[in-house]
Amino acid sequence: MKVLVTGAAGFIGSQLCTRLLERGDEVVGLDNINDYYDVTLKHDRLKQFDGQTGFSFVRCALEDRDAVAALFASERFDAVVNLAAQAGVRYSIENPYAYIDSNLVGFLDILEGCRHNAIKHLVFASSSSVYGANAKIPFSEHDGADHPVSLYAATKRSNELMAHTYAHLYGFPVTGLRFFTVYGPWGRPDMAYFSFTRDILDGTPINVFNHGRMRRDFTYIDDIVEGVVRVLDRPPQPKRLRQGEVPDPATSSAPYRIYNIGNNNPVELGLFIEILEEKLGRKAIKNYLPMQPGDVTTTYATVDDLMQDVGFKPATALADGLERFVLWYKRYYSIK
């Protein structure tokens, strides 16, 4: 296939590009390379594709309507994986307009490109954050997700609703993937596991919110990429509704589907820090703080549907994933 991957200089996007190229797809990567975190890391991710047959890169912001439309018209993609977004729960409180521009206006440009260019399948990144104030654990795609507690989460839920509307109106298949706390080599410096690693090695105190009484469904990057590829190859089919039947939030009479991709095994933050300390061979200096606005206490994914439909569920143990991350981190930053 010829695939557009947006967010190609990002954590998940760059590794997805690698996987698609390895299996013989042609990939066009798009990214605006913004400075939300160190752009050196983004450029280094892209350097992996220097001279790579089948890969081309376009620097562009999703909200640049004319540029995105021209790209779709000239390249004639078979499929699109939209991973580009303004990320971060806490940053959405500080800089809300960035989320509207990238996550809503930009996503509309992607939907319009798919609509006008006969795209066979759009896969887009949603987030576990859409579950928000949902108190039912574990989180299921078949439950409602209409009480977000951060603007970031609200934009991701909005993406799901926008995507459903386009699938319904224009008939092209769309799948949304709710990612759960992705970690691993080439990761994002704004994520806790990355900043904890840096601070522990530097002997700097780490901020442990909610006094460590939070649980996260940490999901290793390779498992995320495997899930994305399998879903990409399986465009959703419409589900016929019987008279009077209440629609299921995860399925539709349109060619639309929502899946969780999580490890299905939440780990308390305190235990996570202990495992990281073991892999680093250093103890953390902990600064215990109350819960941050926009955070939730627990994320926990059901992945039965993913397993049933594409035959895959994330399974990388946290200890193994963190060991691989620490090895990459020390090599990348030349730490002995």
Identify residue 140 by its one-letter amino acid code: S
- Distances 55 to 32, 124, 232 between C-alpha atoms, Å: 17, 20, 18
Residue 242 exposed, middle or buried by CB count within 10 Å (0-12, 13-18, 19+): exposed
Where on the phi/psi map is residue 163: left (φ > 0), alpha (ψ -120 to 50), or beta? alpha
- Nearest to residue 13, comparing CAs of 170, 123, 117? 123
CB 277 within 8 A of CB 200: yes
- Nearest to residue 67, comparing CAs of 25, 112, 20? 112
Distance CA 54, CA 26 (A): 5
Tell me the residue ranges of DSSP E strands in the chain: 2-6, 26-31, 55-59, 79-82, 121-127, 174-179, 182-183, 206-209, 215-216, 219-220, 256-261, 267-268, 286-289
Cis bond before residue 96 (omega within 30° of 0): no
Q: Note the Cα 166 to chain centre separation in Å.
A: 21
CB 313 within 8 A of CB 307: yes
Q: Annotated active-site positions, please? A: 152
